[in-house]
Structure 1
Amino acid sequence: MFESGSYIEELLRYSSETKSTDLHICSGIRPMVRINGKLQEIEDKEKVFPEQVDAILRSLLNDKKLEKLYENKVLDFSFSISGVGRFRANAYSQRGTYAIAIRMLPFQIPKFEELGLPEISKNLTAKSRGLILATGATGSGKSTTLASFIDLINENYNYHIITIEDPIEYLHRHKKSLVTQREIGEDCLSFSNALRSALREDPDVIMVGEMRDPETISIALTAAETGHLVLSTLHTVGASKSIDRIVDAFPPNQQNQIRSQLATVLEGIISQQLIPRIDRQGLALASELMFVNPAIRNLIREGKHYQIGSIMQTGQGQGMHLMEADLADLYNNGKVSKEEIFMRSTDHQLLTQFLNRR
């Protein structure tokens, strides 16, 4: 007889032991895990049937969340299994049946030193106001970077930190700071709703899991403008594209105002990608780091985002660097393949220039 609780626990233990980042359960195929960036079947498991996926979901979700899944056909949630780990999951409908994608989350928030980011990026956590963005594709480690930043602030400052997440990924203990965490659907209705109420909860720092819509972006900019430190994520690669995404979320008649606000409050952008290592010992982090200086503020205000890359190249003394520079360094140091870096570069000509500087 199929025991959904023990079955999912066994799969998650296997995922943990093999250091998988993700587990996929979909009817008609064996469960699959992603190891070192590559998806592969779990060979000793049988194909999963729709009723088994349904049973797994019933073991992971309460009645309220099941009802929400059946209504919306998709659901984000998180859960823990004692002795195994903490997990973020997305259940979704496909071909009339449900599938589940599960991301492994460590119980402990990774220390900044473990992330592989430039030491100077830690300076962003000393800001007392403004907007800091972590950007990148899904699975690039944005949430982990922000969690580590929040932990640094928590260790060093007497602040009230509010996190707004969907779902809550890392659990923060109170250290020097008071940390209150709100989950969409459990503690609040939406990012914009939670962000608006957060401004009345005496915050010093607000972490918004994702700036998904114009309303959330607008309130986040206002929060940063009124003296709060706001941290958030975007699904973009590169600093200039992140600025484009924020501005383009608004109709043309509002874009000048948004550029002006963004030019005033933006403090820094960390863009990142995770790339399979040549030695197959995990993933290597490639990053782009932009600190906002007066020249960049002027370019944002004037809508000349395409010139920001040039300023970043001349601003290396301030700790800034482009993604292509980091990709080239990873290849030149023998950590990743040339094929991988060209797949992840958005400017092959610039990447070639950095490769040839060696």
Structure 2
Amino acid sequence: MIDRLNEMEAGHIMTLEDPVEFVHPHKTCVVNQREIGRDSLSFENALKGLLRQDPDIVLVGEMRDVETIEAALTVAETGHLVFGTLHTNSCVQTINRLINVFPSHQQDQVRTLLSFVLQGVVSQQLLPKSFEPGRCLAMEILVPTPAIRNLIREDKIHQIYSQMQIGQDKTGMITMNQSIRKHVDSGQIDVETAMSYSTNPEELGPQLGVKSR
């Protein structure tokens, strides 16, 4: 996504990574990459000094702790486009992680802020192909519609999954199970692999003809 923006936008991209995994040359954007441990002590420290360098787009390699997440939300609140990565299994779990890392007395405020600044969530995993060498990408995409923003704000995160299945032709959203099922239907993976990588096997099983025990 950073490379795509680097080809299409005109602006200043800053990345904070540990370590830098891919070097982005200047294309239509100026790209400055900072490595944690070499150019800055931590993600938190790097984010605090970031706004003085006037970026338009920011990549935070890993949002590991409350201080980094809080700083990233602050940067997003000021109107910057912020990308970040977390180790989660689904879009809903990602939203929960961003909120639950904060103390309980701060969570209402974080929910409100997140409902305004969130632009999208992508969850992905590589599945081993069942009938030939290689892997295929299964992904889940959440686009924060007004309804989903309200659910975040009102602490009804558990209802977001259902909203992700509404009006997908217009929103571009897809659930992980839908993505996995496409790979089954195309013959890239078998049912056993699909079930083992599903984040919601109780839903996927009946769709694939798997009888519940």
State the TM bucket, normalised to the shorter chain.
over 0.9
Is residue 226 from structure 1 mapped to residue 78 from structure 2 by the alignment?
Answer: yes
- Displacement of 1:250 in angstroms is 0.6
Residue identity opposite 2:55 in structure 1:
P
**Identical counterparts, % of pairs:** 49
Report the counterpart of residue 58 of structure 2 in structure 1: 206
Q: How does 1:24-35 map to 2 (within 5 A)?
A: none
Higher fraction of strand: 1
Paired with 2:167 and 2:89, the residues of 1 have a C-alpha distance of 19
Indicate conservation of the 8 Å contact 1:332/1:355, yes or no: no
Gaps of 5+ in 2: none
Q: What does residue range 58-69 of structure 1 map to in structure 2 within 5 Å? A: none
Q: What residue number does 1:116 align with?
A: none
CA distance in 2, matches of 1:169, 1:354: 39
Indicate the residue corresponding to 1:331 in structure 2.
184
1:217 aligns with 2:69: yes
- CA distance in 2 between counterparts of 1:255 and 1:304 reads 13
Q: Does 1:283 align with 2:135?
A: yes
2:24 to 159, 163, 172: 172
CA distance in 2, matches of 1:311, 1:353: 21
Code of the residue aligned with 1:242 in structure 2: it is: T
Residue 308 of structure 1 is matched in structure 2 by: 160
Q: Deviation at 1:305?
A: 0.7
* In 1: Cα distance, 2:116 partner to 2:207 partner: 32
For the residues of structure 1 that align with 2:38 and 2:47, how far apart are their CA atoms? 15
Q: Provide the C-alpha distance between the structure 2 equivalents of 1:208 and 1:346, rounded to a whole number of angstroms.
A: 25
**2:202 partner amino acid:** Q
Measured at CA, do residues 292 and 353 of structure 1 come closer, stay the same or move farther in structure 2, by a change above 3 Å?
farther
Please, what TM-score do these two structures have when normalized by structure 2?
0.95
- Gaps in structure 1 of 5+ consecutive residues: 1-148
Supply the distance in 1 between the matched residues of 2:69 and 2:110 (Cα, whole angstroms).
Answer: 9
Find the partner of 1:298 among 150, 174, 183: 150
How many residue pairs were aligned?
Answer: 208
Name the larger-Rg structure: 1
Residue 341 of structure 1, aligned match among 194, 198, 204: 194
- Return 284-293 or 329-338, whichever deviates more: 329-338
Instruction: Provide the rounded CA distance (Å) in 2 between the counterparts of 1:350 and 1:308.
Output: 15
TM-score of the aligned structures, taking structure 1 as reference length: 0.57
